[in-house]
Amino acid sequence: MTLGGQYGTVAVMVVFGAVLYAIIMLLNRLMRPSVPSPLKLSTYECGVDAVGSGWSQMNIRYYVFAFLFVIFDVEAIFLFPWAVIFGDLTSSTTPSALYALVAMFLFIATLLEGLAYAWRKGVLRWE
Amino acid sequence: MGETIAFLVFAGIALGAAVAVVAMRNLVHAALMLVIHLLAVAGLYLGLESQFLAVIQVLVYAGAIVVLFLFVIMLLGVDRDDLLVAQGRRAVAGAVAVGLVLAGALTFAFVGPYTGEASVCGSDVAPTGTEQSCAGIAPVLDADDDAGVAFLGRRLFTRYTLAFELSAVLLTVATIGAVVLARRRDLSPEDEDLPTGEVTA
């Protein structure tokens, strides 16, 4: 597969999108009335005045969810090469189908252990 | 031709974003610049016909890892007061010197083994001798039309199974560490600051 083929289409799409965006924003700037006021710069928060700033410190309990997301993201990546070769495997190939199956489920089970630990320790519960 | 243009565009974006990561005064903005940098590197992988690696780069690095970075930054709290500023002339000079040493070391390590004549092995040049540092993946890529994913899978379940399973153990250990650190019963910082009964919409 050459870059010029299918990626050329993608490149044209990207350039077209950027140009379209620029034209629309330029038209917008030319046609709109300009009435600046400090109220327009305030944060919109469901029609209520914003409390505190957006830069406040976050609760560490969110971190577990982000971390579990990363872990299972990596697991999903490992599933792809496994899924691609698994259809061609039989008992006589190297690796054998059973071996690949056991190896992958061992991997998944090890990761689920971490999830089970988090669950048991109650960090997934929000009280 | 197309490859050269793509390389120049993505390399330019990657370098610019990398400089912005260190130059940004707000840590959150620096992390967002890191996203742009990682996406540009994914584009470089795409130019090297390594589509699977490019997808991993976007999913894991630009997606998950930067989310983790942002979480850590927001956990520590970003205040307007502690925006990053260079601590005088000596710090800047030191940073530039260390950067140059690092760049020099990387160049010393990579130019030669990976860029010399010997490293360029197309499908017609067979790796010969022990001096050959070419990885020899071109024939593999030629035989494998799905971006080397099947090749990766076969290697993963033959030669590198132990490393694969050990990586699961490593990830689990990291998960347990994160759970232990995050398992705290004290109030969230937002709750402490606010009088009772007030609601953040």
* Residue bearing the bigger pLDDT, B81 or B101: B101
**pLDDT value of position A20:** 97
Give the whole-angstrom CA distance, residue A27 versus residue A42. Answer: 25
Encoded tokens for B6: 């793509």
Per-residue b/e over B79-110, b at no fewer than 16 CB within 10 Å? eeeeeeeeeeeeeeeeeeeeeeeeeeeeeeee
Q: Identify the helix (H) or strand (E) that includes residue B172.
A: helix B161-182
CA pseudo-torsion sign A23, A24, A29, A31: positive
Which member of B164, B165, B175 has the closest CB to residue A68? B175
Contact: B152, A81; criterion CB under 8 Å = yes
Q: Do the Cβ atoms of A106 and B165 come closer than 8 Å?
A: yes
Which A positions 10-69 lie with beta carbon below 8 A of chain B?
11, 45-46, 48, 51-53, 55-64, 66-69
Say what the pLDDT of residue B144 is. 57
Residues of B in contact with A76 (CB under 8 A): 59
Sorted by where each starts, the structural domains of chain B and their CATH numbers stand as 1-81 (1.20.120.1200), 88-134 (no CATH), 138-186 (no CATH)
Per-residue pLDDT at B175 exceeds 70: yes
Higher confidence at residue A102 or residue B128? A102
Q: Comparing A10 with B127, which gets the higher pLDDT?
A: A10
Whether chain B has a CB inside 8 Å of the CB on A5: the answer is: no
pLDDT in tens, B62-78: 888 898 888 888 887 77
Percent of chain B with pLDDT strictly greater than 90: 23
pLDDT > 90: percent of chain A = 24
Over residues B122-142, the mean pLDDT reads: 52
Could you tell me which of B115, B123, B118, B120 has the C-alpha nearest to residue B144? Answer: B123
d(CA A75, CA B15) in angstroms, rounded, equals 30
Tokens 């000596």 -> residue: B90
Tell me what ipTM this predicted complex has.
0.74
* B148 compared with B103, residue with greater pLDDT: B103
User: CB contact, 8 Å: B95 with chain A?
Assistant: no
- B65, B80, B175 member nearest A114 (Cβ): B175
CB atoms within 10 A of CB A73: 16
pLDDT digits (tens, 9 = 90+) for B20-33: 998 888 888 889 99
Three-state DSSP at B148 gives coil
- Of A1-5, B97-101, B171-175, the poorest mean pLDDT is in A1-5
Burial of B40: CB neighbours in 10 Å, binned 0-12, 13-18, 19+: buried
Report pLDDT for B123. Answer: 41
Residue bearing tokens 């990363």: A70
- Predicted pLDDT at B86: 62
Q: Note if the bond before A95 is cis, omega within 30 degrees.
A: yes
pLDDT at B196: 47
In one-letter notation, the amino acid at residue B85 is V
Choose, out of A44, A63, A106, A108, the residue to mutate when testing the contact with B (most B CBs < 10 Å). Answer: A63
Q: How confident is the model at residue B124 (pLDDT cuts 50, 70, 90)?
A: very low
pLDDT beyond 80 at A79: yes
Domain ranges of chain A: 1-33, 60-120
Candidate from A60, A80, A118 with C-beta closest to B75: A60
Residue A48 Cα, gap to closest chain B Cα (Å) = 8
Is B131 a residue whose pLDDT tops 50? no
